[in-house]
Amino acid sequence: MQQDFSMHKLDNNPVAHCSGCPLQGETIVPYLHSRASGGIMIVGESPGHTEIEIGQPFVGRAGKLLRDNIQAAGIPLGHVFIANSARCMIDKNRLTARDIKDVLRHCRPALVSAIHEYKPFLVLALGDIAMYQILGIKGITQQRGKVFYSEEFDCGCMPLFHPAYVLRGKPSREPVFLRDLKWAKMHVYVKPLTMHQVIQERNLS
């Protein structure tokens, strides 16, 4: 697999908090960690089969769509931190809704510590599960594209469609996805505003 992101595996105490998790003992796929901080952090749902095989997040078909669109949006790859809501695969055919909630609860501390370490300006939460994991809210179709301020993390959080949903859906979803990424890039790297200004501008537009 081509390593097109100059990132480093974050691997400090990977199994802390796993005790009692419904996925305890499954393969853990670590986050990809940019050495820069204060930029964009992307949080997905969980690794799939390809990610487990390769050992990195977002390297399957949905990952390719994500990476292609990050590049098309002009987001500097070496400044992005890529994480997941759960570091083991959430198989929705095998797990109940209650199990999934339990997995997210167990895996959240690792994500929280990564966010505190990276200190992103903006977290892009891909899909319903990531939005729930970061902000505790649901309803991606209604919330997509808005910017929320997270008091817990002192940063913005913008929910986006999950790339797997973009892949499955109508062709019109990819331009929306790219537009959201371009907007994020503009306000994090090109025309930096305060988070308050970002939220005002985005949510009033």
> According to CB under 6 A, which residues from 104 to 123 bind ligand SF4?
106-107
40-44/81-84 β-pairing: parallel
Residue 21 engages ligand SF4 in binding (rule: CB under 6 A): yes
Residue 87 engages ligand SF4 in binding (rule: CB under 6 A): yes
**Smallest distance from ligand SF4 to CB 127, Å:** 16
Contacts of range 139-148, beta carbons closer than 8 Å, 24 or more positions apart: 144/176, 144/180, 145/176, 145/180, 145/202, 146/202, 146/203, 147/122, 147/198, 147/199, 147/202, 147/203, 148/199
CB of 23 or CB of 70, closer to ligand SF4: 23
Q: Which of 75, 103, 111, 123 binds ligand SF4 (CB under 6 A)?
A: 103
Q: Is 27 left (phi over 0), alpha (psi -120 to 50) or beta?
A: beta
Q: Which of 75, 86, 122, 126 binds ligand SF4 (CB under 6 A)?
A: 86
Residue 29 engages ligand SF4 in binding (rule: CB under 6 A): no
Q: Which of 32, 73, 88, 184 binds ligand SF4 (CB under 6 A)?
A: 88
CB of 40 or CB of 103, closer to ligand SF4: 103
Q: Which stretch binds ligand SF4 (CB under 6 A): 74-82, 102-110, 126-134, 140-148?
A: 102-110
Residue 130 engages ligand SF4 in binding (rule: CB under 6 A): no
Residue 52 engages ligand SF4 in binding (rule: CB under 6 A): no
**Smallest distance from ligand SF4 to CB 163, Å:** 20
CA distance 18 to 25: 8
CA distance 19 to 131: 24
Q: Which of 7, 23, 70, 131 binds ligand SF4 (CB under 6 A)?
A: 23
Query: Could you tell me which of 129, 199, 194, 118 has the C-alpha nearest to residue 158?
Result: 199
Q: Which stretch binds ligand SF4 (CB under 6 A): 47-55, 81-89, 153-161, 183-191?
A: 81-89
Positions that interact with ligand SF4 (CB under 6 A): 17-18, 21, 23-24, 26, 28, 86-88, 103, 106-107
